[in-house]
Structure formats: C-alpha cells, structure tokens
Homo-oligomer: A and B are copies of this chain.
Amino acid sequence: MSTTETTEQTTAETEIRELIADREAAMQARDAARFVAHYAPEIVKFDLAPPLRNAGPQLLDPAGMAAWLSSFADDDTFEFAVTDLDVTTDGSLAFASSLNRLAATPRGATQSFELWYRSTLCLRNTEGTWRVVHEHSSTPFYMDGTLRAATDLKP
C-alpha cells in the first residue's frame, strides 16, 4: 500500500469517526433532524423493532425518529453512548461496528431502562460526503424456548 493510500484511509477513518460522533451527539441532544441528516436516500435499515426491513426516502424525514424520541421522559435519565467502535475504510466505502448503550425512562414510567445493542453501519462517499447507506441494529435472543430478546446483556 502506498503512502498516499494510507493517508487517504486515515482521513476517511477520521471522517467516519466524526460522523459517528455527530450521530452520538445528535442522539444525546435528542435532535432527530441532525441524526437523520447522515442517511443516504438509498438507506436500508434493519431496526431494533419490527418490521424486518425498512427502506425509502421517508427515513430521511426526522418525524419518525422525533416521535420515537418523544416517547421518552425529557429528563437527564436519557443517555446514549457508542463503544467498541471498529472502523474499516477503502476507496468510497466504509463500515463500522460498535456496541451502543441506550438508557432512558419511557414517558409515564417510574423506572429507567438500560439497553446494550449491536450496531453495524455501512457508508458510501458520494461527491466528498460520507452517508450511511445501510444500518443494522439488534440484540441477540435467547434460544431457550422463551425466545426473549437478550436486552439484559452488557459488554
């Protein structure tokens, strides 16, 4: 690998890490518009909640995410963090995996919850701008007959 290629990759990795840090800050600020601004129009999402697959430009509309964010109490129990971030880049593509922590109190509830989940982001650089083209968020589930989502795991 040439020095130029290495430098390009370092720059790209820095840009991807900045993008993911901005998504993290957007979640912490509960700013749906800032969060969805990083999606490409061709985004395909595999979300924590059904359905199996979400796609289409309506995912760039902050309304859906704003509604979800407003289901949580507007207090300091709302926390979000990206950990164990691993970023790979080459050319116009990148992917990143992480373990994310969400803590919040559902509006009207008396207790907060804490959820660790896995995140995979696939990104493409178009005309100098990185955008998320695929996002996969999940917990595993217990294959013990209960089929409970494993929402109690910690790294």
A binding-site residues for B, Cβ under 8 Å: 44, 46-53, 84, 86, 88-95, 97, 99, 116-118, 120, 122, 124, 133-134, 136, 138-143, 147-151, 153-155
Q: Which of B92, B97, B117, B120 contacts A91 (CB 8 A)?
A: B92
Whether A88 contacts B47 by the Cβ 8 Å rule is no
Chain B residues within an 8 Å CB radius of A122: 88, 95, 97, 120, 122
Q: How many copies does the complex hold?
A: 2
Whether A50 contacts B88 by the Cβ 8 Å rule is no
What does DSSP make chain A's interface, helix, strand, loop or mixed?
strand
Give Cα distance in the complex from A103 to B139, angstroms: 21
Chain B residues within an 8 Å CB radius of A95: 93, 95, 122, 134
Chain B residues within an 8 Å CB radius of A99: 52-53
A53-B155, A91-B92, A139-B141 provided; 19 other pairs, C-beta below 8 A? A44-B86, A44-B97, A46-B140, A47-B140, A48-B141, A50-B153, A51-B140, A52-B118, A52-B139, A52-B154, A53-B84, A88-B134, A90-B91, A91-B91, A120-B120, A136-B136, A138-B139, A147-B151, A148-B148
